[in-house]
Amino acid sequence: MIRVQRKYKLVKANSIRELQEIVNELIQKEYKDTEGFIFRSSARWQCIGGPIKDSDYWIQALVFYQDEEI
């Protein structure tokens, strides 16, 4: 059986450089857990579209995708 979970997040920053650092940190984290052959999990953040400039802030939409096999 495979379960899929998604979480959404908007990252807001004052500059494009700060936004880039935050987004890169989230994307580079990948979680893996293996316990024998019973449970396996991996998950990661992915960008949705490109950054958007709104007033004084830069905004990036992200989705956290987790796929579990039980």
DSSP 21-45: HHHHHHHH--EEEEETTTEEEEEEE
What percentage of the chain has pLDDT greater than the value 90? 41
Could you tell me the pLDDT band of residue 43, with boundaries at 50, 70 and 90?
Answer: low
Bridge partners of 31, per DSSP, are 43
Distance CA 41, CA 29 (A): 14
- Domains of the chain by residue range: 2-69
Nearest to 7 by CA among 53, 48, 55: 48
Q: Compute and round to an integer the Cα radius of gyration of the chain.
A: 15
Residues in the chain, total? 70
What local confidence, expressed as pLDDT, does residue 61 receive?
Answer: 95
Could you tell me the pLDDT band of residue 56, with boundaries at 50, 70 and 90?
Answer: very high
Bridge partners of 35, per DSSP, are 39
